[in-house]
Amino acid sequence: MIALLLEGVPQRGLHLLVGLLLTLVTVPLVANDYLITVLILILYFAYVGQAWNIMMGFAGQLSLGHALYVGLGAYAAAALYVHFGVSPWIGLWAAMVVSAAAGAVIGFLAFRFGVAGVYFAILTIAFGEFARIGFDHWSWLGGSAGFFLPVANYTRNDLLRPARQPDHVLLRDAGHDPLPPSSCATRC
């Protein structure tokens, strides 16, 4: 399988791949948060593009509903983490299973009933829109407001911080100081 993938790849391309791998491994050790965020976005876009490329580039099937699989995977991993406390590293595999299962069902329906060409594109739009409106009304997963993850407050300019301030004031007024002064000094 791996040999098949590397068939016809020139020597220079292999060197570049190894160089890329080494860069990816070393960058998190030296780069700052912002740079890592940008690199993650770049890899994410490349990954999403590659997923679509497999459908249109290799199989020639125009799919306009690929956002469905991205969203299903994201929701699956996030729901496992928020509702069941499963680590996203395990949720990653669950997300792949969920998205692949959804893709298999839609693909089976489309090709079993001979939906091809532009009709296949419309079918993928229909499934994507159907799921989008469904998730908009699924309050267990946040509904139309979106599904928020409790992320760690690592960066200096975190958007979570201003939202938390009134919280503290409220608690302090009620007589419960939520934080010892020392930890407040390190946070503020």
Partner 1 sequence: MVGLDVNRLYALTFGLGAACVGAAGCMMVLLVDVTPPLGPAYTLLAFVIVITGGLGSMPGALLGGVLIGVTEALGGLLFTPSAKSMFTFAILVLVLLFRPQGILGKRAAP
Residues lying near partner 1 in the complex (CB under 8 A): 109, 113-115, 119, 122-123, 125-127, 129-130, 133-134, 136-137, 144
Of residues 51 and 115, the one with the C-beta less far from partner 1: 115
Of residues 79 and 131, the one with the C-beta less far from partner 1: 131
Of residues 71 and 168, the one with the C-beta less far from partner 1: 71
CA distance 12 to 18: 10
Both tokens of residue 132? 């989008």
CB of 144 to partner 1, least distance (A): 8
Of residues 49 and 134, the one with the C-beta less far from partner 1: 134
CB of 130 to partner 1, least distance (A): 4
Please identify which residue in the block is written with the tokens 């300019």: 157
Residues, the chain: 188
CB of 145 to partner 1, least distance (A): 13
CB of 12 to partner 1, least distance (A): 44
Whether 135 and 127 have beta carbons less than 8 Å apart is answered as no
Closest CA to 143 of 156, 159, 132, 127: 132
152 phi and psi angles, rounded to 5 deg? -70, 145
